[in-house]
Structure 1
Amino acid sequence: MLCARGRAYAGAYTETMDGNPNQRIGDVERSQALDKLGLYFADGYLDIEEFDTRTGAAAIARTAGDIDVLFSDLPEQPSTAITPVHDDADKELDLVLQRGKKLQRIDSAIWSVVMVAFFLGLFVLHVPYFWVVFIIGGAASAGARFLLKVDDADEKLFEELHEQEQSEREARLRIAAKRRRELEQ
């Protein structure tokens, strides 16, 4: 029997099969199961080894029962039972992420202009005080943080989340590449 989350994820194809675990499935159902397992992996319910094992089983599944067993021990998705308190925290976190991404783009633009101005001042225009552009760049970066209301704690949180996203994305891409190579053989 599937848990509620498993039913929610697997329900799209198992409910249409009249609950017959021996009914054959096709590529569409296997692909849906792989997508759902990816969600569990992203939510932290599966580690890399479990994800690898279950996606391998989903890729060669032949019946609805083969798919059902992959979701039988997984809990409901936490985001389906969000309370208003969590909703506010999620909105605040989204705001921090948005501001962090804006700040990242602004800093990139500022320091690109600073570097161009530095090299132009130093090598082309022969300006005697070419190093002043670094002070201006620092002031512009500080001003951007002030205008976007990004403090040190927000910036640190954004950097941690960004690094975590990057490492999770890298792990998912490695697994997907491995899975693709296995399916192509």
Structure 2
Amino acid sequence: MDETADPGPPHVRPENMRAGDVDREQVLDRLRIAHAEGRLDLDEFDERITATLAARTYADLRALTVDLPGQPPAPPAATPPPPEPGPLQDLDALQERDLRGAVIGWAGASVVTIAIWAMSCIATASFVYPWWIWVAGPWGLVLLSSWVRDRRQ
């Protein structure tokens, strides 16, 4: 038997788990209600507030409210951490951001070319062939087909 093997983390009982600020706030709320209801006098209320702020574990907090009606703070249930985004989720977000940037670029270029065309029509006082269609049209069709392809997947 290997004596250097790591036995793993020691098992911690739920009541011995460390309490957090949210847990302390819940106990403080219960103590405020108990004081308002007349269950705690001012001195005992002050002592319990001080002890609540110094409490480290759920057992410490439970001892401060065990003689009060209502539910004591329960240790959190062991929940697995949320799954991290997988490669497909990252790829979807990246493609959406890239498509959004491409559409913004297309819209900007289209507005500029249409403005130049409109100014040339005004300057010559005649209708000029709408050449801007050859800039905005094919580029827009490529973006539209990319968007449709992404939506189908």
Structure-1-length-normalised TM-score: 0.36
Which has the larger helix fraction? 1
Instruction: Return the structure number with greater relative CO, CA threshold 8 A, min gap 6.
Output: 1
Larger Rg: 2
